[in-house]
Each structure stands twice: as structure tokens, then as C-alpha cells.
Amino acid sequence: MGVMSLTTQRRRFLLVVALTVAPFSACMNCGPAPVPLTVEPATIPNGALTVPYSVQFTVAEGVEASFGLASGDLPNGLTLTAEGLLSGTPLTASTSRFTVRASGPMMRTGETAYELTISPFAITVAPTRLPDAIRGSGYTAQLSAAGGSPPYRYAITSGSLPAGLAMTMSGQVSGVPSASGAFTITVRGTDSFNRTGDSMIQLTVVEPAVTLTPTTLPPGTIGRNYLQTLVGSGGTEPYNFTITSGAVPDGLVLSPGGELSGRPTTAGVSNFTVQVVDNDMNSASIPLSIDVVAPAVLISPASFPPVTVGTPFDQPLSATGGTAPYTYRISSGTLPPGLALDGGLLGGTPTAVITTGIDITASDSMGAMGTRSFTIQIVGAVITLTPTMLPDASVGVPYSEQLSADGGTGPYLFTLTGALPAGLSLSASGLISGTPTTVMTSNFTVTAADIYSSTGQQQYVLVVQ
């Protein structure tokens, strides 16, 4: 038959095509696999029942992709868009496990598995225990809420706040509590979707802490006025002050109003405890002490001037620093002869030339003392003789010249050192007299001594012609 049939020709064409196309198809399957996409985030936050929820999925490679569930189920109430937004309001408390797939260009895909827990919804009010309040003092505290969508409103559903306190819708508790004790209230928090949650809140009102000041007292001085006021605070006036142990210094008293006053009479440290009680019988006690010292009694003058023997001496003494009247005594040493201390007057007429030291002590009316040392110098009188020159004498002619002394206390005793001209003599009363017998010139010294042995001298020259 020389000519192939039409059927035979078709079969040969199809075989050639098959042989040609088959190698090409096998080459297509042998190319590189597409690079997978990375779905982000790696984990997602948990949600709460009826609380709006939203998470945006993306791919790390930054290419456009569409998103969908590869496996599992989303929580009831949530949906996933092709743009990768997982959102909605959870309607069931549960834990869901699902896988999100991202599909991009060039047949690139990627998947990430997730676990999302929807917890039961609960609005809680905090703190469950408010800071303690002090009865009678201003108070402010703020409540807060969590678990819902702010803003929140607050209301007391059971119990009551202490008298004097109130709570606003914004959750602020404020006022001045007038009663102490422990209080429990139930506060309901309501969020912006009118979802509510109740919490028990505790508040304690304590009695005020009474304090007493000052905690230290200044020292006192014997015989001097003392005044220190104690002050109570932190409680309710009026306050009452008492001594609960020990004793205040002698001469001082503590009034119920806290005034410590008087004049201390005894030196030393006094220890005592003061208690203050307020109008509501709240109290506080503190230990106190007062050191009472003797005053610094100072005697004047600081020194005495030299005193001339035989000259009347009067020196008044005075004292300061203590409480008058003062008494004076010689506490050491001995006064010069002729002097005496009478009260506050040192006086008399000294009868001997002497230098001596004494201590005088002054005591005030409260027994405080002060001592000062003195040096008393009794000096001799300055005695001068007159005349300072004698008239000439003549042989055979009677001679008489009376010497006199001044500056001391008479009578004076006159004595001679040297020799008078022959025929003349010096009496004890200072009379030079007689009848010269020889022409001559005499040099001699006359000494005059008073009754206290003070002396004075004068040199003379007597010419006998």
C-alpha cells in the first residue's frame, strides 16, 4: 500500500510531540525551590474575654503577601484578614492553637504556629489595703483599676468608709476621719464598656501619735528664774502634763499646761519622766533632765591699793552673779593687824608694815559662793623733817633749835647718827640745844620715827663759829 493512512500519520505526529515536550517538562521540575517567607511576630500576646484584641502579622522579607489560616482555629470572636490583621472581641475564654500562612510572589510561602489564650475577664480595684489614716488629720488616697478599658468609675457596693471620709467616682478617698478603727468596703470598678469588677478594700484609722517637745532642757542656775514650756502635738487639744517618775529640781514645778518654772535651790542633775495626755487620752512620755549649776559669784573690786600704816582704811566689797543678799568671810590667810572684815566692809587702821595674802569668799542667799584672792600691802608712812638747814652757832652763846616731823603718826622719836658740836645735844623730842664750846663744823643725820616705826631722815651741817 504505498501511502500511509491518515490515522497512522497522526499517531506519528503525536509521538514526535510527546518525545519533544517530555524533556522540557522534566527540566521545569529540576529548577531551585522558592525561598520561604518568615511570618512575624514570632509570638503574640494573650487576650481577655470581651476585651478588644488586635495583632498585625507581617513578613520579615518586606514583600507583599496575603495571610490566611494554614491550620487550627481562631478564638471565638476573632478574625484574620488577608492583610494580616487578627482582631475582634473574644467571646469565649479558651486557648487556641493555629498556624498563619503568608503567600507572596513567585509562589513564596511561609508559616508560623501560634498559641493564644483568652483569659476570663476580670476588673480589679487596687490597692486592696489603703494607707492608714490618722483620726482628726486630713487624708487622701487614690484607687486604680485594671483588667478593663479605661476610664474607670468607682462606687461602694457594700460597707462604709469611716465617718468623715468619702469616695468620688474617680476613686479618690479623702476627708478628715473622725473615728478610729478598721473598715472594710467593697468597691466596684466599671470600665468604658460598662463592664464591672468588685474588690474588697481595707482601711484602718489609727489614733494620732502624740509627741512632746522639746526632748532636752536647758540647764538651770541656783537662785535664777527658770522657765521652759513643754509642747504637745499630734493629738487633740487640750494636753495635760504630769511627772510620772523622778522629780524636777528643788524649787521648780511643772504645771498641767506644760510650764516648768521656778527658782532652783540646789545644784545637781535631776532626772524625771514627763507624760503628756491629749483630750482623747492618747499619751506619750519622754525622759528629761535638768542640770542645775551654782551661779558664778564674782567679788569686786579685783584688788586693793597699798595702805599706809596708821592711816584709816575703808574698802567696801560687792558681789554679782548670785542672789542677794551676800555674806563675806576670810576663807584663807590673815588680815594685817588693825584691819577687820565686817559684813561687806574691809576697814580699820593698820598698825604694822606688812604684805600679806588673803582669800575672801562671798556667799549668796541660795548658798552659791565665789572666792577671790587679794594681796594687802601695808606700807610705811613717808616722814619728812623740818627745817632742812640749821642756823650757825657761836662759841659760848646758848643755842636752841626745835626739829619737827610730818607724814606719820606722832609722837615722834628723834635719834642722832654722827656727832653734834661739843656742848650741844639732841633730845628725844627733836630739840637741839646747849652752849657750844669749840669752833667747829659738824655733819650728822637725824632720824624721826613715828609710833608705827615709820621713819624719815634728814642730813644736817652745823657750823660753830
**What local confidence, expressed as pLDDT, does residue 70 receive?**
96
Find out whether the peptide bond into 411 is cis, omega within 30 degrees of 0: yes
Q: Which residues of the chain have pLDDT under 50?
A: 1-28
- In order, the DSSP letters of 196-209 are EEEEEEEEEEEPP-
Q: Which residue has the cell 551661779?
A: 295
pLDDT digits (tens, 9 = 90+) for 45-88: 999 888 889 999 999 999 999 999 999 999 999 999 999 999 99
**What local confidence, expressed as pLDDT, does residue 374 receive?**
97
Q: What is the pTM of this model?
A: 0.48
**What local confidence, expressed as pLDDT, does residue 195 receive?**
87
Say if residues 430 and 412 touch (Cβ distance below 8 Å): yes
**What local confidence, expressed as pLDDT, does residue 21 receive?**
39
**What local confidence, expressed as pLDDT, does residue 31 receive?**
58
Domains of the chain: 39-119 (2.60.40.10), 124-206 (2.60.40.10), 214-290 (2.60.40.10), 298-379 (2.60.40.10), 384-464 (2.60.40.10)
Task: Phi first, then psi: give them for residue 11, nearest 5 degrees.
Answer: -65, -40
The number of residues making up the chain comes to 465
The C-alpha cell at 95 is: 486557648
**What local confidence, expressed as pLDDT, does residue 244 receive?**
96
Dist CA 235 CA 258 (whole Å): 15
**What local confidence, expressed as pLDDT, does residue 368 receive?**
87
CA angle 109, 110, 113 (to 5 degrees): 150
The C-alpha cell at 100 is: 498563619
In sequence order, which residues have a C-beta less than 8 Å from that of residue 430 and are 6 or more positions away? 402, 403, 404, 405, 412, 414, 446, 448
Dist CA 205 CA 177 (whole Å): 7
Q: How far apart are the first and last CA of the chain?
A: 225
